[in-house]
Structure 1
Amino acid sequence: MKRVLIVDDAVTVRSYHRQVLEAAGFVADEAANGMEGLEKALSGRYDLFLIDVNMPRMDGYSLLTALRQAASLAGIPAIVITTESGPAQQARAIAAGANFMLTKPVTPEELTLYARMLGGADV
């Protein structure tokens, strides 16, 4: 089973993403901010990261940068899911290390499609 780490400060968003991805066959774990996400990423084994941008303690851009600097995590795909949209935000997310960016709210079909494409289709 493919494992995904969902990093978002909104408990309802984490719960929604977890339900969608678990229904699609992923094993999901959650973190409430970037710092907690980094700690879990460094101590676990994940196939995909879903990362919000605006969070306390460490924002999504800083988390992405830290993930890409860690040799063991640098190759794991990351999807930024945020309410912010536009070319500038997308460019910043990609520059920080995101593989793709989605704008909230995402549909279950959209989330499942991109999670399978980037995190592995064998779920």
Structure 2
Amino acid sequence: MAEPARARILVVDDASLVRLYYRQALEAAGFVVEEALNGVEALEKLLQAPADLVIVDVNMPLMDGITFLRALRRQPLPLAALPALVTSTEAGPADIEAARVAGANLYLVKPLEPAALVLYARLLCGVPG
């Protein structure tokens, strides 16, 4: 019997330590993890190989997370409907609202506990825990 396909997550963050932290937690939970340094690279990667979830930082060079979300939501389906989890150190109501309006499905404030990251990734990907 074939092994079921594992959910693929694209982590978009300019901080290498954050990407590594997310990668370790998510891969330990059985996800396949890809990485991008900014929104431009993330869009290029998603156009080449769709993902099941994108986890995106807000503050990044070239294309920030909010601009990335707006661009993502303008893509044709099914890419435009890709679940997006936004992570940021910014915790103000205006920051959360800006992400929601841009198309975020969920907004979490850094630092994230690995268990919470995995739980929300499973929920957004529809993967049983």
Q: Give me the TM-score of the superposition, normalised by structure 2.
A: 0.92
How much has 1:120 moved relative to structure 2? Answer: 2.1
Deviates more, 1:81-90 or 1:4-13: 81-90
Q: Aligned partners of 1:51 and 1:33: how far apart in 2?
A: 9
SS of residue matched to 1:42 = helix
Superposed CA offset, 1:27-54 (max 9, x none): 0000011111111111112000000000
SS of residue matched to 2:76 = coil
Task: Please point out which of 9, 13, 21 is paired with 2:18.
Answer: 13
Superposed CA offset, 1:3-59 (max 9, x none): 000000000000100110001110000001111111111111200000000000000
Superposed CA offset, 1:63-94 (max 9, x none): 00111100131111000011101211111001
Query: Which one has more relative contact order, counting CA pairs under 8 Å at least 6 apart?
Result: 1
Task: Report the number of matched residues.
Answer: 123
Task: Please point out which of 36, 39, 46 is paired with 2:44.
Answer: 39
Residue 48 of structure 1 is matched in structure 2 by 53
Q: Aligned partners of 2:128 and 2:41: how far apart in 1?
A: 28
Over 4 Å off, 4+ runs = none
State the one-letter code of the partner of 1:33. N
State the one-letter code of the partner of 1:86. G
Query: Please, what is the CA RMSD of the aligned residues?
Result: 1.0
Q: For residues 67-86 of structure 1, what are the structure 2 equivalents within 5 Å?
A: 67-72=72-77, 73-86=79-92
Matched, 1:96 2:105: no
How much has 1:122 moved relative to structure 2? Answer: 4.2
Ranges in structure 2 where 5+ consecutive residues have no aligned partner? 1-5
Residue 27 of structure 2 is matched in structure 1 by 22
Ranges in structure 1 where 5+ consecutive residues have no aligned partner? none
Residue 3 of structure 2 is matched in structure 1 by none
Larger Cα Rg: Structure 1 or Structure 2?
Answer: 2
Residue 118 of structure 1 is matched in structure 2 by 124
Q: Give me the TM-score of the superposition, normalised by structure 1.
A: 0.96
Matched, 1:3 2:4: no
